[in-house]
Amino acid sequence: MGEPFDAVDVIVTKRDGGRLSDAQIDWVVDAYVRSVVAEEQMAALAMAVVLVGMDAGETARWTAAMVASGRRLDFTGLSRPTVDKHSTGGVGDKITLPLGPVVASFGVAVPQLSGRGLGHTGGTLDKLESIPGWSPWLTPAQMEAQLQAVGAVVAAAGDDLAPADRRLYALRDITGTVASVPLIASSIMSKKIAEGTASLVLDVKVGTGAFLPDLASATELAHTMVRLGEDCQVRTVALLTDMSTPLGATVGNALEVREAVEVLAGGGPSDVVELVCVLAREMLTLAGRPDADPSAALADGTAMDVWRAMVRAQGGDPDAPLPQATHTDVLVATTSGTLISVDALAVGTAAWRLGAGRTRRDDQVQPGAGIELLACLGDQVRPGQPLARLHTDTPDRFTRAHQALADAFTIAEATPAPRRLVLGRIGGGSDVGMGDTS
């Protein structure tokens, strides 16, 4: 028996502005996994989607088809309610590291399937793999056991979880078809839905260091993802958060783990602590713990206890020294005045050039590479004052990193505008815009 559709017909339908039927979408996704639809044919369809778009119904069906291409994890047997968080990626975004233990400390299960970084945004697995002995490779049964015993887990997604998305993601990366809200939303949500969590909080980054630099496109993506989650019976809320300035004072894998541990110990940069607590409150509300106080879990050490248990459960040593780069250099101010902005993209690019990120998925990262920010917004600085410390194992990288940072720090005789971390909220029964959220 032959195939019910022809790939060329599906491509032409979308190319000419038509709407794909549920049956066409189900078939083309499944046929792509089976290699009946060739890579170049899926590339052509993806480009047609970029140019023409998909409506809400098509996007929902596309997402469901990618979920159905593999297994869907099931944690309904746990005695704890489940909730996860997903960030669209940013510079210095180590929020996942303290957030999971904070939420888990209130009797909630936080199953997190994370990835590695590509380009200037760091991956959670890269950060955690800088801890000696820590491993992301867990079976679903091991994940469930750790969730029941500890409450938090960060693991690598298995090959059988939304395999259609894994193939399509790699294809889009090399064919100029990344920039499509339906494709971005379905890629993120198919993995999160397949992960088996009952509730989900999305951290959609906005700004120079984010995948989507403008508020309008980030808002569209957030609305789309919230709708996809709700359509699949996953309670979903999205926060739009600022990524014009790096989060915290460090960018780079081991450097960010160190800073996350400082937050868990009751210290750390105020912006990281604020965002951890804001996201934790959203997650705990979805999980049925609306009265829980995330800041208390940081202050009394309960979140740190969960962190240490989580690291140990995955083979890591929470007391082992973290890797340190063998070479450092310092960027200094050349003028005097007030530090009024730090460009997130420039800092992320510099950290990547120092070895903290990768260009291709099989590249190795340097665990100790990265950047420490030595001055904060609003600080008065003078010529020669250190602004950032650069870390790498390969000192010939310093030149290009300094080039990336040439215009990253804006110093002027002015007062910086107050930074607002949360720019909006979507889902959970109400949408709050920029003007309504502090």
Of 61, 172, 192, 289, the active-site residue reads: 172
Quick check: is 165 catalytic?
Answer: yes
- Strand-pair category, 152-156 with 110-114: parallel
Instruction: Report the C-alpha gap between 338 and 332 in whole angstroms.
Output: 14
Task: Classify 429 in phi/psi space as left (phi over 0), alpha (psi -120 to 50) or beta.
Answer: left
CA 65-66-70 angle, 5° bins: 105
Please name which of 67, 274, 68, 61 lies closest in space to residue 182, comparing C-alpha atoms.
Answer: 61
Q: Residue 260 class from Cβ within 10 Å (0-12 exposed, 13-18 middle, 19+ buried)? A: buried
- Using CA atoms, how far residue 309 sits from 195, 196, 383, in Å, is 22, 23, 46
Instruction: Report the C-alpha gap between 27 and 50 in whole angstroms.
Output: 20
Instruction: Report the C-alpha gap between 154 and 260 in whole angstroms.
Output: 15
Instruction: Report the C-alpha gap between 301 and 291 in whole angstroms.
Output: 19
Torsion angles phi and psi, residue 437, rounded to 5? -120, 135
Of 191, 223, 227, 289, the active-site residue reads: 191
Of 26, 93, 165, 271, the active-site residue reads: 165
Quick check: is 436 catalytic?
Answer: no
Of 14, 61, 85, 86, the active-site residue reads: 86
Quick check: is 187 catalytic?
Answer: yes
- Known catalytic residues are 86, 165, 172, 187, 191
